[in-house]
A = this chain, B = another copy of it.
Amino acid sequence: MTDQLNNYNSEDKVLLAVDCIIFGFDQEDLKILLIKRDFEPEKGKWSLIGGFLKNTETLDDAANRILHHLTGFDKIYMEQLYNFSKVDRDPAERTLSVAYYALINIEDHDEHLIEQYSAQWFSIEEAPSLIFDHDEMVRKAILRLRRRAISKPIGFELLPEKFTMRQLQKLYESILNEKLDKRNFINKVNGLDVLVKLEEKDMSSSRKGSYLYQFDKEKYDRNVEDGITFKI
């Protein structure tokens, strides 16, 4: 149902914000994208990127709009996280916020951002403290990302299309915040049977060069149909 009362008109309405925790990965660290708020309240403080829900949109629409606006891209991976509703969370007015987290490949998107919004990437550990309840949102997003990344092939969203095993391992180490054993990691990943090994090598990191891999979504989808689960 939607209410015990028959009168929708007597009910309170609220402003609904959508705030996005945008994750990126720069070969070393997991990062989040923040902007300096340029209006009151809390002008000049760091904050997540957000906007208000419009009557013509779903929450996913709004999150996509905000992400598109900022990056110029569509089809960014994102997921609804949680609805934050402390009564005084925004001192200006009663506002609830639905947090979304998004995964983007820093290389693709970088330039755009910096120009338009003077947005900035921060390592999770080095991020400044944020306005309102945004720190809590980030904390929750990291936990969610951790749970998802070990059971769904979403980590690849944070990498370039072609990547080395080393990059993939570094990524998972920074998401999970723990060191992983190289051989075990590679064995496990190969066992998942969702990567194609390319002829091509990445020569930037070593004399020997390391093979590049690509995520094969079709292979993954076939595995899912066969009941084979992704599990790192």
Q: Give the interface of A toward B (CB within 8 A).
A: 1-6, 8, 11-17, 19, 35, 37, 39-40, 47-60, 69, 80, 82-83, 85-87, 90, 92-98, 131-132, 134
Contacts and interface: CB of A to CB of B under 8 A. Distances in A.
Contacts of A39: 5-6
How many copies of this chain does one complex carry?
2
A35 B4 CA distance: 10
Contact of A13 (B14, B19, B60, B69): B14
A47 to B, nearest CB: 4
Contacts of A96: 16, 53, 59
B98 A53 contact: no
Contacts of A48: 1
A137 to B, nearest CB: 11
Given A15-B13, A86-B58, A37 B94 contact: no
A83 B97 contact: no
A132 B2 contact: yes
A50 B14 contact: no
13 contacts: A2-B19, A2-B52, A2-B90, A4-B69, A6-B39, A8-B52, A8-B95, A12-B55, A16-B16, A58-B85, A59-B83, A80-B82, A83-B83
B50 A1 contact: yes
Contacts of A93: 8
A8 B63 CA distance: 18
Given A60-B85, A86-B58, A87-B57, A2 B17 contact: yes
A177 B49 CA distance: 41
Contacts of A92: 8
